[in-house]
Structure formats: structure tokens, C-alpha cells
Structure 1
Amino acid sequence: MKKLLLLLALSFSLFHCTDPVDLPSRFEEPELVVEAWLTNKSEPQTILLTESQDYYANRLPTPVTGAQVIVCETVDATPTSNCFVFEDEGEGRYVWTPAPGETIGEVGTEFGLGVQRGEEQYTSVTTMNRTAIIDSISFQFEEASIGNDEGIYAQLYARDQVGIGDAYLIRTRINDTLLLRPFELSSVYDATFDPGTETDGITFIFPIRFSINKLDDDGAPIPLVEGDKVEVEVWSLSQEAFFFLNVAGDQIVNGGSGLFDIPVVSSPGNVFNVDSGERALGVFNVAAIAAAERTLEE
């Protein structure tokens, strides 16, 4: 009995240990981080350049200014004369502004990114892939269930393109507010969440259709009310961008610091240092967008 009590006491002390433990992050020098999420919309396109920082640094990333940034159409990774110069607007923002009605390109076009920062050069190549086909946004009444309150919720009816390997990102605005928390963004692969399901050319599965609703801080969907406007965009993703977002999302919601949390790693991107050939931080994607909107009326 004494041994049992001792074991229980030891277990209690282990589960109630609150002493902080600082682990070395092995951070050495800041690296360039490239956030190049471009689209085929006729609106200013922005590339963000910042520096990486120590995992324990509690501050915003340092912006990179004074760089030269250009995007060109390419053929077999060789630039053509059709290029877009991104102007330095400060705070790490590099912007290309199209003329009225102008877009950066069409589905199937290959693009190359070039970044010159001092003596360092970085490059990436991607293709604007096709996006999904949106049919409609529907509003449906749902009875109360586990995790859901009774009310009216939105669903996105969109269909995957025929052919294995299409990847998408779903972004939602409700009453002009963009839902940007990690669990409010949905990445889609051939109408489901992951590759390998062998689904193709079908309507997005129910959890993805339902994912366009606003969520509370506990991740529960919030019913719509009369007058709510729902806007949805489906962005096409390259394979590299899809996996980048999935790893980044897992890392962002990985903050429990528990025994079974996944290790902290950088998301693998598709930007490379020209001289060393090493992979830089960040990703370059040019998306085609399908969009729809609907307002809940009486």
C-alpha cells in the first residue's frame, strides 16, 4: 500500500509540474522570407519580404526594404519579355499595379520570380493552375447537434476539375470581413482534404462545403442571421503551395506544447537561393480564382 501511495504521489507531482523549460532554438542568422501569393484578379498584386527570427522572439518580423523584385512569364523556366516589376512601397511590401482590366496572366502560364537583395539572388518558378467550378452558395437550416447551434448555415457547392492532382484554397468573407484564422481556411485536394483518396471530378465533400461558415473561438460554426453576406473565393494552388499551407497550418495550431505535439519545423517552400541552391523560406504561387457571393434574405 505504501508503494502504491508513493507512486500516486509521484504521478500527481509529474502531472502538475509548472516549471518552465527553455530549449535552445539553434537560431543563428535571419533568412529572407518570401510571401508571394499572386492572383489573376485585376487589382494590385503584393509580395512581402521579411526576415526570419528566433522561435522565441515575441515581435513582428523585420521587413526587408531596398530589394528588387520582378515576375516574368517563362517558358521552360526561361524568362520571356513579358515581365512585371514590383515597386518597393516600404515595410517589406513590393507591389505591381495593373492597368484597368489588366491581369498578370492566364491559366496554364508559367511564371518566374526573381528577388535581388544586395549580393543575394533568389528565384522560383510556378504555373497558374486551373481552379474549381463553383455552382452556388446555399443556405440551409440545421437543427441543433453536438458542436452546432440551431440555425441557418451556408454551404459552398463547387466541383473539382476532372484529372487527379488539383489543389485549391477556400477563402471566405462574411459581411466584408475576411476569415483568416487557420481553422477558417480550407485547403482542398481533388474535392477532399488530402491526396491519395483517388476522388476526382466530384462536388466538394460536406465538411469542405460547410467550412465557409464563421467559427467562434472554440471552432464551432456560428449561424447566419438575416442580411449576412457570404463571399467565397476558390484559389488554385500548386503542389508546393498546397503542402506549404498544410504544414504551416499544422504549426500555427500546434501551440499546446504537449508531449504529443508535432515538432516545430519550417514549411517547405519553392523559393531557392541562386548561388547556394538551398531552399529559402516562403512560397511563390499564382492563383486563378473562382468567386461567388450570396446574401441571406428573409
Structure 2
Amino acid sequence: MKKLHILFTLCIAALMLSSCEDVVDVKLDAGPPLLSVDGWLTNRAVPDTIKLAQTSPYFSNTTPQWISGAKVTLTTVSGESETLQEFSTGKFLIKNIRSIEGEKYLLRIEYDGEVYEAQTEAMRQSFLVDSVAFEYREKSLGQDEDGYLLQFFGKELKGMGDACRMKIKKNGIYLNKIEDLNYMNDEFVDSANFKKVRLFTEKPFQLKDSVTIETWSITMDAYHFYDELRIQVSNGGIFANPPANVRTNVKNVNASSAKKAVGYFGASLVSTKSGIVKE
């Protein structure tokens, strides 16, 4: 039995006139655990990793558990095949296959008597970052401290249907909060030149910070995955929409099976551009 405390607040003319708190007892049936897949194939020199876990009930207050013993294989349309090595519980290393523009990939996972598959394609690198810039801003509404905002100059290649995610590193460490999630498509910027385009981060940068922008080409389906992910993670408040499932490209080959999967497997071409915050 769980208690959900729902606070209803009515604000009129910027004054809080009334509020009440209702305690509602809700009994929720725990659904079956799902296979959670998180992995991305790239053209980087370092090996890539596929991570497998098992989801927990929403109100269980436990973290997902890594799973062990799965058989994971990766194949390409052009004929390459690799059985991935489990180097740590739930973590499988891609040693040989790399992401190549236009290549299509099939990830196959055999676990607990079920077979799951995910298909993806490595898209071209269409968003090209030429240089990194920073602009100083004082603390203000929406910015909790003084600091430097990240911007970039670059261009987008001609031809519709491109998308990318831009990952940001600060002093060698990825920024992984939902506020650091940057992604875009070329619907309104096909073949455009970019000047001082801002990338969003949870906090501004400071002098002498080393900052790297990694541009990852993604499919339009992956773009919508990130869009849905942001909406669900940011969904809150009294006007929040009902929770909805985020799309996945990982499917149980037995469509009638009750055991499903969540998460995403993708392939990207990755380019990097770095800079140091200076006055």
C-alpha cells in the first residue's frame, strides 16, 4: 500500500488564495520485471559497451539490477558478426565492429528463455561543429550562479532527415543530468550556418574549465526517443501529463510473450571539438 500526497494549489493574481492536501491510498499491482537495454555503437577508438539490467517496480525504492549470463551478438548487413564478451555483470564489450555510415546493425539478446532484437542504422554526420565559444552571464532567473554559457559555431549539411545528440564533457567527465541533454534535427535548419548556438547545461562553466562537445549522429527514431525521455523525466507539477511509455527499438521476437524490453540500442558517427573557458 502506498500513499500519494497530492497537493492542489490555486493561484489567482499571483496570490495563493487557498490550498489543500488530500491523502489518497492507492494499491498498485507490481508488473513483471522488464529487460532494460542501454547501448550505443560508435566509430570511436575505444570499445563500446552494451548494458543489460532488469527493471524494478516503480515504487520499490530499489535500483535496477544488472543481469548476467545473457548471450549477446551483434551482426551487420554486410556480413560481420561478433559475440560480445561479458566483462562485468550486465556489461558486454563490443571489440571489433565499429559504426560505419550507412551500415545497418542487429543486436540480438538471448536471456531467460527469451530472444530480443534491436535494429539500427549509422547515419551520416550532418551537424558539423567548427569551434566552441563561451559567453559570461551573471546570476539571473533560471541561472543559479554566475558563469559562462556554452555556444558553438558550425554548419549543417544539405539534405533533410538528419539528427544528432550533442554530449558535453566538463574537465573530462560527461554531464549526464536531464538539463544537460541536447539534441536536434534539421527540420528548420537544413544546410544552415550556426553562429553562437547555445547548448544547455545544468550549471554554467567557470574559468579554466576544459569543455568538449561530442556530436553523435542519430536516426530520427532515436531523436524521438530522446524527446520522449526528456518529457517523461521532466514531467511534474499539478499540470503534469499522465506518465507514458518511452519508445524502445528492442523487441521480443515472440510478440505474444508477456516479457518485454525497454531502452534503446543505436549507432552513431562521433566527432569532437574542445575549448578552454577564458576571459
Which band: TM-score by shorter chain? 0.7 to 0.9
Against the structure 1 CA distance between its residues 139 and 274, is the aligned structure 2 distance closer, same or farther, given a 3 Å change threshold?
same
Unpaired runs of 5+ residues, structure 2, are 1-9, 11-15
Query: What letter corresponds to residue 49 of structure 2 in structure 1?
Result: T
Task: Note closer, same or farther for the CA distance 1:232–1:16 as it changes in structure 2 (3 Å cut).
Answer: same
Q: How does 1:256-271 map to 2 (within 5 A)?
A: 256=237, 258=238, 260-271=239-250
Change (3 A) 1:51 1:144: closer
Unmatched runs of 5 consecutive residues or more in structure 1: 1-7, 191-196, 217-221
Pairing partner for 1:187 from 169, 183, 188: 183
> Number of paired residues?
261
2:206 corresponds to which letter in structure 1? L
Alignment deviations for residues 265-286 of structure 1 (CA, whole Å, 9 cap, x no partner): 2211111111227763111101
Q: Does 1:234 align with 2:237?
A: no
Cα distance in 2 between the residues matched to 1:46 and 1:85: 12
Out of 117, 122, 142, the position equivalent to 1:123 is: 117
Q: Map Cα deviations across residues 214-265 of structure 1 (whole Å, 9 max, x no partner).
A: 434xxxxx2531x211111011111221111111111112243x2x212112
- The equivalent residue for 1:41 is 44
Bigger Rg, which one:
1
Question: Does the 8 Å CA contact 1:34/1:282 hold for their aligned counterparts?
Answer: yes
Query: SS at 1:16's partner residue?
Result: strand
Instruction: For residue 36 of structure 1, report the CA deviation from its aligned partner.
Output: 1.9
Identify the residue that residue 155 of structure 1 maps to in structure 2.
151
Alignment of 1:167-186 (within 5 A): 167-186=163-182
**Structure 1 Cα separation of the partners of residues 28 and 223 of structure 2:** 27
Shift of 1:129: 0.5
The structure with the largest strand share of the pair is 2
Residues 25, 54 of structure 1: 8 Å contact kept: no
In the alignment, which residue of structure 1 is the partner of 2:54?
51
* Identical-residue share of aligned pairs (%): 25
Aligned counterparts of 1:110 and 1:24: Cα–Cα separation in 2: 44
SS at match of 1:58: coil
* 3-state SS in 2 of match to 1:17: strand
Q: CA deviation at 1:145?
A: 6.0
The aligned residue for residue 7 of structure 2 is none
Displacement, 1:159? 2.1
Aligned twin of 1:107: 101
Which structure dedicates a bigger proportion of its chain to helix? 1
Structure 2 residue 199 is the aligned partner of structure 1 residue 211? yes
CA shift in 2, pair 1:145/1:23, >3 Å: same
Q: CA deviation at 1:147?
A: 4.0
SS at match of 1:126: strand
Distance 1:267 1:142 in 2: 35
Give 3-state SS (helix, strand or coil) of 1:236's partner: strand
Q: Look up the equivalent residue of 2:166 and give its one-letter code.
A: I
* Equivalent in the alignment of 2:81: 83
1:41 is displaced (CA, Å) by 0.6
Provide the aligned C-alpha RMSD in A: 2.7
Give, in angstroms, the shift of residue 292 of structure 1: 0.3
Kept in 2: contact 1:153–1:224 (CA 8 A): no
Q: Matched residues in 2 for 1:49 and 1:269: separation?
A: 14
Distance across 2 between alignment mates of 1:73 and 1:42: 19
Contact 1:237/1:285 (<8 A) preserved: yes
The amino acid that maps onto 1:15 is S
Which of residues 4, 13, 19 in structure 2 aligns to 1:15?
19
Aligned amino acid, residue 132 of structure 2: I
SS across alignment from 1:162: coil
Paired residue for 1:287, among 251, 268, 272?
A: 268
